[in-house]
Structure 1
Amino acid sequence: MDKAMWEKAVAFHGHECPGLALGVRLCEFVRLRLGRTSAHDEELVCIAETDACPGDAIQALLGCTLGKGNFIYHCTGKTAYTFFDRATGEGFRVIAKRNQTPLSREERKQQIYTAPLEELFSVTVPKEPLPEKARIFTTLTCACCGEGVAEHMARLQDGKVVCLHCFHPYDR
């Protein structure tokens, strides 16, 4: 594993762990597959299916971030990540293979460092289409709490604009 990539990911994440090691190797895998080092804007998109440690490596090393809108979280509880290259339209879903051998955290981290990439990941077609580019929405003011809320996340309640925290859904 590239030492500079590892150190950059650890600095972002805050500590060393097997999940971060998996994320760094995932970034290595994606870079090799796409022939691209990182995203300066939204040209590379990642849809993460878990909020675990590998996501921090993706943000630190591939330039996919929540703020730019090219790191999207769709929770399925799976260690799976779909990547799209906007320039080519290529997309693929990478799934971390489950480790069946009981190992300590340190042993697992070492195993991830040294394993061939094909032992760590499998690739399938995306389960969802390439998301549209990030949009900038008008900020509205919630009639209840007075806080700003992006227009696409606001709701109407009793004829007034409210945020999701103040909205009382009618779900019977």
Structure 2
Amino acid sequence: MNTNKAEKAPFSRPDPMGQRAPTLEELKMNPREGFQRALKQHDLESLLIKAAEIHGHFCPGIALGVLAAANGLVKMGLESKCVDGVMEDLLAIVEINACFADGIQAVSGCTFGNNGLVFRDLGHTAVTFVSRGSKTGLRIRVNPEFKALVEKSAPQFYPLMEKVIVQRKGTDRELKDFKAEGRKAAFGLIKEDCNKIFAFETVEPRLPDHAPISPLVICPKCGETVLAVKTKTGPDGSKMCLTCAGEEFRQVDGRGIVKQKSAFLNN
């Protein structure tokens, strides 16, 4: 056995341009190597497949997010930039918490966890890309006409969506058909002219500060560590977590950003 031979990464796909797939060592040095290669080669199919790895399925929303991110990064000249989120240099400001957002996160590398993704609860299928230090950014919004493009490649997608997702009354067969239509719609959209799907505009976005570094403290009631900025100071000066203090908090779910009073039913 040749121990000097580079080990091939699991589940890696051959590069469509005939180049080899990234090795494990290359991915250890740059985990986004696969995304970067696909971006440089404008390989939207590979980007869509990789985005679906985290999203879980194919649908028009994930395809729109992939297209918006890929075109946005290219228009900003950032397709070759390694966005790893360490310094929060690039921000993606999304205006909807739906499938679209996963496509943005996957392709851009701006995620909820690395503070590169900013969520504004506005309900628009839109994203703004901006580099810190720049006064202007690129806002990309989806044109309403995109639905006609979906219906062209997957005519049963919206009728099945109404029954399976909206009404929650679909059969197992209809669920299977819905997934198949979503797949056809997604791969159909990435073949369309992006100018038919999106409107691009230069904007001056209001940016958040860099994420603050908050120390961890121990809640005296539950004994768990908690960010100091997410505590309630008691009369004795102790810092209690919001759950133990019975304080209201905010959460992101399918409704957007909503207020909650209790995290558990048995509280």
1:104 maps to 156
Give the AA of the match of 1:129: R
Letter in 2 for 1:120: I
Provide the rounded CA distance (Å) in 2 between the counterparts of 1:69 and 1:166.
27
Tell me the TM-score normalised to structure 2 length. Answer: 0.55
- In structure 2, the partner of 1:17 is 59
- Cα separation, 2, equivalents of 1:164 and 1:18: 38
Instruction: Give the conservation status (yes or no) of the 8 Å contact 2:96–2:119.
Output: yes
In the alignment, which of 234, 239, 242 is matched to residue 164 of structure 1? Answer: 242
The farther-off stretch of 42-51 and 93-102 is: 93-102
Change (3 A) 1:58 1:152: same
Aligned counterpart for 1:85 among listed residues 106, 131, 144: 131
- Out of 124-133 and 58-67, give the one that drifted further: 124-133
Specify whether residues 126 and 152 from structure 1 end up closer, same or farther in structure 2 by C-alpha distance, changes over 3 A only.
Answer: farther
- Conserved? CA contact 1:149–1:163, under 8 Å: yes
Matches within 5 A, 1:1-172: 2-37=44-79, 38-41=82-85, 42-98=88-144, 99=146, 101=148, 103-105=155-157, 106=181, 108-124=185-201, 126=203, 128-158=205-235, 159-169=237-247
CA contact (8 A) 2:45 2:187 kept: no
How far residue 20 of structure 1 moved from its aligned partner, in angstroms, is: 0.8
Alpha-carbon offset, residue 94 of structure 1: 2.1
Shift of 1:45: 0.5
Tell me how far 1:89 sits from its aligned partner.
3.8
Check 1:123–1:146 CA distance in 2 against 1; reply closer, same or farther (3 A cut): farther
Greater C-alpha radius of gyration: 2
Gaps of at least 5 residues in structure 2 are 1-42, 158-180, 249-267
Higher relative contact order (Cα pairs below 8 Å, separated by 6+ residues): 1
* Residues in 2 aligned to 1:162 and 1:120: alpha-carbon distance in whole angstroms: 49
Letter in 2 for 1:50: I
| Two-structure CA RMSD over aligned residues (Å) | 2.6
CA-to-aligned-CA distance 1:60-101 (integer Å, 9 cap, x gap): 211101221111223222222222112534323322222454
Whole-Å separation in 2 of the counterparts to 1:100 and 1:12: 24
Tell me: CA distance 1:155–1:128, structure 2 relative to 1, closer, same or farther (3 Å): farther
Deviates more, 1:24-33 or 1:84-93: 84-93
- Opposite residue 18 of structure 1, the aligned amino acid is P
C-alpha distance in 1 between matches for 2:147 and 2:218: 51
Residues 136 and 203, structure 2, Cα contact 8 Å, conserved in 1? no
The size of the alignment, in residue pairs, is 170
Deviation at 1:104, TM superposition (A): 3.1
Q: 1:59 deviation in Å?
A: 2.0
List alignment gaps of at least 5 residues for structure 1.
Answer: none
